Amino acid sequence: MQQLPETMRENVRLLGELLGETIRDHEGEARFGKIEQIRQLGKTINQSEDDDPSALVELLEELDDNDILPIVRAFNQFLNLANIADQEYGASAEAEPEDGLKAMLLNFSETYGREKLVEVIRNLRIELVLTAHPTEVTRRTLIRKYDQIVTTLSDQQRGNLLSFEKDKIGGRLHRLVEEIWSTDEIRAERPTAVDEAKWGFAVIENSLWQAVPDFIRHMDRLCSRHLDESLPLDLQPFCFYSWMGGDRDGNPNVTHKVTREVLLLGRWMAAELYLRDVQGLYGDLSMLAASDELKAVVGQSDTPYRDYLAGLRTKVQATLDWAEATLKGQQPAKPDGIIESREDLLQPLMLCYRSLREVGLPHIANGPLMDTIRRVYSFGINLVPLDIRQDGERHLNVMDELTRYLEMGSYLEWSEAERQEFLLKHLQDKRPLFPTQWPVSDEGAEVLATCKVVASEPREALSTYIISMAQQPSDVLVVALLLKECGMGWNMPIVPLFETLDDLDRSAQVMDLLWQLPWYREYTDGKQTVMIGYSDSAKDAGKFAATWAQYKSQERLVQLAEKHGVDLVLFHGRGGTVGRGGGPVEKAMASQPPGSVKGKIRVTEQGEMIRYKFGLPKVAFASFSTYVVATLRATLEPHEAPQEQWRELIERMAQASLEGYRRVVRGHPQFVPYFRSLTPEQELGLLALGSRPAKRKATGGVESLRAIPWVFAWMQVRLNLPAWLGTRQALEFALQEAPATLNDMVDNWPFFSSFLDLLEMVIGKADTPIAAYYEKQLVPKELHPLGQELRADLGALEVLINRIKKQDALFESDPMLRQTLSVRKPYIDPLNYLQAELLKRHRSGKPFSEELERALKVTMAGISAGMRNTG
């Protein structure tokens, strides 16, 4: 078996030893001994042939209640520390993330020519949308400590350390581990939407602020050395946006006041960061030589750059003071002379840049000054322009209230043609439609108040308006009318989000009708973003059928956009898990339909994935490199469209999968009670998770449950059902009907082979004996046959995967992943067994202490950490 890299193994060992010492010091030798006994037994069971957990279960059942919390905390923290070692290695020089970019540039420059490659690089636009995560369980104070450990481990890798430096680093690591052990892992209070936005800003301040200019500088150097072309100063390969404080879909906690506060926080945070930059430049740019252009502005001066930057510093300080006073509720009138656009920042910085270049000081011009200019292009005046997202039904209800009040009839009862006629008439009418005063409901008033906030903000502070559950062209037009009536002075891009299977199938038809409307073509200026929903489509139809529906939808939209001459950007609403469209960036990009990338892509990055990919400058740098390589490859070397026989087969496979999935989730009378008794779905309420409720509506069954907690609950019990249910039926159908075509798809269609790779990873993370243990402890006996059926389904699917991939066991082509999962299993398994026991006690109605409730919460956090995703 391939071993983990030496550096990673050494870091895991070191952190494990420090944790052990800390536990021994704080909990005593006896308790530490029990933890070690459980750990060693878990490893022994994992390495044995029969994999019989009865000895471990027996040991755990004999634990005193007082021992349970420290034990689950120990295993939880070990898994977090293992993740840290993994993260540090991924961003280390040993992993050499930039090598892939350099090799690709050299390869593509030979294949496509330097000019073509440089043109594509200059037009790269990778839009990353930061979103909060409703099942992010780790406290942010601990995230900061984990980040400090990563940095300290990196320091330890430096060569030629003096002995006192080694001691200092060792002491810092020990101290951090002790701080972590002494900190409560579980939040006591649910974060607000504003708290989530602050966390997003912190990622920018602590990581992206440095990583973005560093990476662009690196790209520029590579292009200069290997392509003989420098990149322009205004290059924006990465653009960042946010849903935190703007995503009100099913979240009553995101109000128009929250949105206004988050936008203001962004202005304040941006001003603070730019002020630091300008103060640094004020100290750096002490030179005398200046261009005539600069001298004409500042006059005679021994320090022309400082004199000139003093004005910018005053302006940024005024912006900071105004934003801070407004946030404190002092509501000062907006003063003249504050930063209102990128140009307010760029104009003085660019003048200094031009002057330095002109007087022969290019190295100074290309130093921190250039970094600040690139930050302005990347982060603008509020760091991350905000997307507004709202459920389409809310807009319809507002319009219905209006038409009823104006005695025009019920908007909800009109046909689609009648709605479009009404909306287009009033969109083109210069007179207002909305009365000054009318008895609108509280829900309707909130929709209108949000539109008014959007209309009052600087254009640069906002991005797009996203409509969840978009179904008809009128769903887009009604948003345009609401914005117009609320005073909008510019054409905010409106993005339909197609989520369910039916909506995905209808997406091209909807966009075709929209793009045929002259008014809408003029409104969009030939540019359109369409969002593809991964989470809800998978929950609606199962992973296999949804994945094929997403592919077809994108394919049709790309063809349609070309027909209408529309510049289309596909917005991928991916989650962290495979069940919600997640997975490695390279596989995701390689499996896109041909022509769907073209150097531009927009993707959500969610919760813990933001932390894993962008939480530290070195980690972010590596992630940027991966994104650029994958996007360039998908742009320049898109895979050919699938062959007709592949299409015919996968269409029938998808139908078999859909029937298999819905037969269980929708058709089996015992499915909902089985799900609710087996998983900790009901207990999720104990955790102070994100600001968004777990359900879109207070009432309703599984269908109203959000996709994220749906995935989270199944992941906790190690069955991972949302990512594979229905897939066995698809593969069995293909093997029976067209085995040669199936083999051809595996060998020659990256979309399909990537799907199988991700499916293999999901199955490898599942554990049917543990799921059976939950069933034994928690599920009424009359429901057990369903559980046996599901586990048999998963077992049969594993056999099929191995057969199709022509391997004897999972992960033959990825032994590193197999080793990683093997190392984590002895630490996750005890958490699962203890969680099942704690759930049983919690549901019994007998007294359940605060300590045990906390232990139950920690098991959820630990299993999430061990599985490397929360939902």
pLDDT in tens, 252-286: 889 999 999 999 999 999 999 999 999 999 999 99
Per-residue confidence band for 698, with pLDDT thresholds at 50, 70 and 90: very low
Distances (CA, A) of 752 to 529, 653, 683, 804: 26, 12, 37, 12
Q: State how far the Cα of 69 lies from the Cα of 53, in Å rounded to an integer.
A: 21
How confident is the model at residue 868, as a pLDDT?
Answer: 72
Query: What SS3 state is found at 28?
Result: coil
850: Cβ contacts below 8 Å, ≥ 6 apart: none
Q: What angle do CA 568, 571, 572 make, to 5 degrees?
A: 140
Lowest average pLDDT, out of 120-124, 738-742, 817-821, 843-847, goes to 817-821
> CA 504: distance to chain centroid?
21
Per-residue confidence band for 863, with pLDDT thresholds at 50, 70 and 90: very high
Q: State how far the Cα of 618 lies from the Cα of 215, in Å rounded to an integer.
A: 10
566: Cβ contacts below 8 Å, ≥ 6 apart: 515, 524, 526, 527, 528, 560
Active site residues: 133, 539
Q: 697 pLDDT exceeds 70?
A: no
Per the model's pLDDT, the better-predicted residue between 110 and 574 turns out to be 110
Contact call for residues 688 and 187 (beta carbons, < 8 A): yes
- DSSP symbols for 384-451: SPEEEEEEHHHHHHHHHHHHHHTTS--GGGS-HHHHHHHHHHHHS-SS--S-SS----HHHHHHHHHH
Q: 95 pLDDT exceeds 70?
A: no
Amino acid at 718: R
**Alpha helix locations (H) across 285-415?**
292-298, 304-327, 342-358, 362-364, 370-379, 392-405
219: Cβ contacts below 8 Å, ≥ 6 apart: 101, 121, 231, 235, 237, 628
pLDDT in tens, 135-194: 455 677 888 898 899 889 888 888 788 999 999 999 999 999 999 999 988 877 777 888
How confident is the model at residue 530, as a pLDDT?
Answer: 97
Top-level class of domain 186-384+600-636 = mainly alpha
Residue with tokens 């302006």: 315
Q: 233 pLDDT exceeds 90?
A: yes
Structure tokens belonging to residue 250 = 């099913």
Residue with tokens 């009040």: 405
Contact call for residues 492 and 464 (beta carbons, < 8 A): yes
Q: 90 pLDDT exceeds 80?
A: no
Q: What's the whole-model pTM score?
A: 0.91
How confident is the model at residue 141, as a pLDDT?
Answer: 83
pLDDT in tens, 401-451: 999 999 999 999 999 999 999 999 999 999 999 998 899 999 999 999 999
pLDDT in tens, 33-51: 999 999 999 888 888 777 7
Lowest average pLDDT, out of 258-272, 285-299, 814-828, goes to 814-828
Section 513-531 average pLDDT: 97
Q: 513 pLDDT exceeds 70?
A: yes
**Any idea where the domains of the chain sit in the sequence?**
1-96+140-183+837-871, 186-384+600-636, 386-599, 643-813
Section 781-805 average pLDDT: 97
